[in-house]
Amino acid sequence: MKALLDADAVSIAMEKVQDVDLSSLQLLCSAHRSAVRLHKQLAFSGDLPRIFSDAVETAGFERITGCKLDSGNSCLWAAVTGVRHG
């Protein structure tokens, strides 16, 4: 939250992620929703590890479009669909 309050855009580097659980996906979703409400940008940077995109799919977070709050088409999960892997 501090990063979102201090900047207009925040990038999350995921390249070194080695484990992902449901609570981490929920936390990222909550952070994105907060960014949208604050009129800020939150996005992933760089390549996403396969373990991350697999966790998104397994948890049912994979989307083509964002939720009803995502008026700017910046949904993190839609960005993971068809993702490039590092």
Per-residue model confidence (pLDDT) at position 56: 92
Amino acid at 58: T
For residues 85 and 52, what is the distance between their CA atoms, to the nearest angstrom? 9
Residue 5 clears pLDDT 60, i.e. is over it: yes
Q: Measured between alpha carbons, how far is residue 20 from residues 34, 49, 59 in Å?
A: 21, 10, 10
Q: Where are the domains of the chain?
A: 2-80
Q: pTM of the prediction? A: 0.84
The predicted-structure confidence for 11-69, as pLDDT tens digits, reads as follows 999 999 999 999 999 999 999 999 999 999 999 998 899 999 999 999 998 888 888 88
Per-residue model confidence (pLDDT) at position 39: 93
Residue 1 clears pLDDT 70, i.e. is over it: yes
